[in-house]
Amino acid sequence: MVIFDLDGVVYRGLDPVPGAAQLINSLHQRRVRVRYATNNSMASREAYVERLGAMGIPSSVAEIVTSTSATVGYLRHHLPEARRVMGVGSPAMIAELQAAGLEVIPVADVTHPGYQGEPLTDRVDAVVVGLDQAYDYLRVAVAATAVRDGAAFIATNADLRYPTPRGFLPGAGSLVAAIRAASGGVDPIVVGKPEPNMFAEILEDAGVEPAAAVVIGDNPDADILAAHRSGIFSVLILTGVADAATADGLAGDRQPDVVVAGHAELGRLFDEWLS
């Protein structure tokens, strides 16, 4: 199985990375299983299928793994008793949690001035936090109170910031940090990269051992570190975050097993491995 990061590996912003579509389609033709793993919790898996298709990369929802879908898997495998979940995140995140059969209380509903329901904090099994662009004081207060009262604290990812055309903006990790502080220092369970939980969910769902997988990523601090923590062979591709100078200075768990300049070189590696 080959696990691709998306932004910086398959595309950069709205533009496909040269050679990515040809390589991925070649892997499909060779019946190599492919997965796409992203820390983004803002978009649905269906949206990624559409986006990849527009770039000439046919895919299925089952091949897309977002930090939200990985969180669903984590809850199913590790916290099956958590059926009532408070969701702090995007509408897409809330919808995916609901589609998994969870009873989801959007924090936006609880903090709405017109809310007339009962207090919910003592009846919430888990608080799931992703990027929420409508985040405010009340959402922090309600989520932190639920965590302090015993709800499991789950972060889809802990990215403190993320790149945009306007520069870096606060990521889900910044929101998670505020809830952690307000809860009195309760540490979250982080599902997304660089923690190993996302890759563990991918492998468990596919029935694949770590030794039979390869991670292709552009970020040593997320993709490569998560691969090492998961026991998966890692390839750093220099089409995104890292350049050659960065790659030369990597050490420890941030050091990949292989470094390639782009998809043409990566394709030659797969030709050797699959021959």
Q: What's the rounded Cα separation, in Å, for the pair 63 and 52?
A: 11
Q: What's the rounded Cα separation, in Å, for the pair 194 and 92?
A: 22
The reply to whether 7 belongs to the active site is yes
The reply to whether 5 belongs to the active site is yes
105 close to 84: Cβ distance less than 8 angstroms: yes
Instruction: Kindly name the residue from 7, 125, 218, 223 that is annotated as catalytic.
Output: 7
Q: What does the block give as tokens for 245?
A: 């100078």
Q: What's the rounded Cα separation, in Å, for the pair 145 and 121?
A: 7
Q: What's the rounded Cα separation, in Å, for the pair 135 and 104?
A: 17
Residues 6+ apart with CB under 8 A from 235: 214, 215, 216, 217, 256, 257, 258, 259, 260, 266, 269
Residues assigned a catalytic role: 5, 7
